[in-house]
Amino acid sequence: MPGLIGKKIGMTSVFSAEGQNIPCTVIEAGPCVVTQVKKMETDSYEAVQLAFDEKREKSTTKPLKGHFQKAGISPKAKLVEFKEFENEFKLGDVITVDLIEENTFVDITGISKGKGFQGVVTRHGFGGVGGQTHGQHNRGRAPGSVGASSFPSRVFKGMRMAGRTGGDRVKVENLRVIKVIPESNLLLIKGSVPGAKGSYLIIEK
């Protein structure tokens, strides 16, 4: 799907025409530069590669420097391919937030916040044990039995247990665009989106 690369700025809230307070995520979307146009004849599929956000030349590898020089632009931090763009693009073209309209729906992909090692209550939403009856006093947030003893005498694969949480690629679909601010390249999206402040997001129409 056609789209843009953005960066999560933070959250705020706006009032609708009916006076309803709507929580929103503020995203800096673009401007994105076309760094490569893939065609069926040469690449076996069609796509447009976009780049976003400045990167220090010192921190850029030589192959990427040559890649950006072909497009005639300075090094960029994030590269993403998008398919099914309606318009034809060439190297160096700039795509802005005007691509997305107000009151439409978008899908947003990001890397969720890493939370480190967490127990089953936080990681999987286990309810825990209510109360301390029958002498129980320290098993409230424990996972309980993970496998019987005599049979099967092992723990099944996929058992929900404690472990590393977050830091995953998450896609949230059908988020409403509340407002587009072209002069600042900003999008106001209803609700929350994956990732911490300053993290990169993929916005698909």
Going residue by residue through the chain, which has 205 residues, state the pLDDT in tens, using 9 for 90 and above.
Answer: 788 999 999 999 999 888 999 999 999 997 999 998 988 898 898 999 999 989 998 999 999 999 999 888 999 999 999 998 877 888 888 999 988 998 899 999 999 999 999 999 999 999 877 677 777 778 888 888 888 888 888 999 999 999 999 999 999 999 999 999 999 999 999 999 999 999 999 999 8
Q: Which CATH superfamily includes the segment(s) 3-127+157-204? A: Translation factors (2.40.30.10)
For residue 132, which phi and psi values (nearest 5 degrees)? Answer: -130, 45
Q: Are 177 and 193 in contact (CB under 8 A)?
A: no
Query: Which amino acid is it at 164?
Result: R
Q: State the Cα–Cα distance between residues 193 and 205, nearest whole angstrom.
A: 15
Domain residues of the chain, as ranges? 3-127+157-204
Q: State the Cα–Cα distance between residues 118 and 145, nearest whole angstrom.
A: 18
Q: How far is CA 138 from CA 46, 131, 132, in A?
A: 58, 11, 8
